[in-house]
Amino acid sequence: MLTTVVALAVLTGTAIGASATSATESSKAPAPEGLPKFYAVPGKIPGKPGKIVRFEKIKAPKIDGTVYRVMYTSTDLEDNAIPVTGTIVVPSGPAPKGGWPVVTWAHGTAGMADECAPSLSPTEAVPETNMLLTQGWVITATDYQGLGTPGLHPYIAGENAGRNTIDIARAARTFKPAHTGRDYVIWGHSQGGHTALFAWKIAADYAPELTLHGVVAGAPPSQLASLYAFLKDSGERQYLMMAAGGLNAAYGDEAAPLDEVLTPKGIELLPELENGCLSYVHDLAQQYDYSEIGSVDPYAVPAWKVILDENDAQNFTEENDVPLLIIHGGDDGTIPPISSVLLKEHLCTIASVERWLYPGQTHGGVVQPSLNDMITWINQRFKDSDSEVSPSGPPDPEVTNCTT
């Protein structure tokens, strides 16, 4: 077996600027090269997930609220306390009785290098921030583990990212300047859509003190076996290289042995994942046919099949009473639209699901035309309303639910 690409840091300790309990000693970690000192991990962080480690206010004259960069505690798949960074954005004016509701954003694929952490550009971390703030919502936006903090980002490890996404909403509750309550909605797109689905799955057990009212998953990867077959011969094969490194980082060599799915050249290239963001890794992957990087179909390797099945929402089986909305662009060339048709049909066996397809929209292009419709849907969810939302686009969306 290979040694793990990057050892996952187990870091616990005391909060800065917030009270903490169950603090554990750990080695300090300097800020990653090229990042501000804020990203240095102290020798202690809180052991309990959802506690603020440190924060700083960011000047953001174009944002109709107050922007904070934060480091907070989350947990990895072995329940070790880990530091994660992100952003909390608070609306202007006094909070309502009971505190602001929260929309916690799970970002799409940015890359796996520390420089790709969205909190480095916090005013650009969330699409159309001001539209959300106008609704009276606090916005929380995780970077995910490993982006700006120690270790390789566990790319496409769904529960891992789901915990990070929920824990920053928890952190906002312990962060006095945010004035948040218990109510929250999860929204994510692409990798973030995948994350949103896993946060939806674990939320009731993982954070029972919060009330999840709804989840929006934009263009979520699912049917991973079919997606593998689609991507390996496409111009987007960098995602497979990233998934190999990310899942190995999350599960370790014994559970996710790299030498059983990657060629020596593929293994040699993995350190490059930390040398640039998505466009860098994309250009790198285009220099090779996937056969030069991947040795076999990972579904033919029992250990990898187990992990991939665990990270595919198509395999969810537990009933869920939290409403789910899936959004997809009709011309998505990264996540084929048929995948969300199949996903919706399966999830309708365990939950209430809607799917909005925006004709002619691309993978990333669907976010803007669907935003107003999504905001209306989220408002209804915060009201616990059973009223159906009729999205208007443009373009005119195709709407299906569990009865159509």
pLDDT tens per residue across span 242-294: 999 999 999 999 999 999 999 999 999 999 999 999 999 999 999 999 999 99
Q: How much is the pLDDT for 28?
A: 83
Same domain, 280 and 316: no
Same domain, 59 and 206: yes
Same domain, 228 and 244: yes
Rounded CA-CA distance 30/21 in Å is 23
Domain boundaries, position 263: 224-310
Same domain, 115 and 254: no
Please give the structure tokens belonging to residue 154.
């566990």
| Domain boundary residue, one of 310, 325, 360 | 310
Specify the 3-state DSSP secondary structure of 356.
Answer: strand
The DSSP 8-state label assigned to residue 262 in this structure reads B
Q: How much is the pLDDT for 6?
A: 33
Q: How much is the pLDDT for 26?
A: 52
Q: How much is the pLDDT for 27?
A: 59
| Domain boundary residue, one of 285, 310, 335 | 310
CA 250 to chain centre: 14
CB proximity list for 336: less than 8 A, separation 6 or greater: 227, 230
Closest CA to 56 of 80, 78, 39: 39
Query: What single string gives the DSSP state of each residue in 151-165?
Result: S---TT-HHHHHHHH
Same domain, 164 and 179: yes
Query: Could you say which residues of the chain have pLDDT below 70?
Result: 1-27
Residue 19 belongs to a domain? no
Q: How much is the pLDDT for 234?
A: 93
Distances (CA, A) of 351 to 201, 321, 401, 402: 11, 6, 11, 9
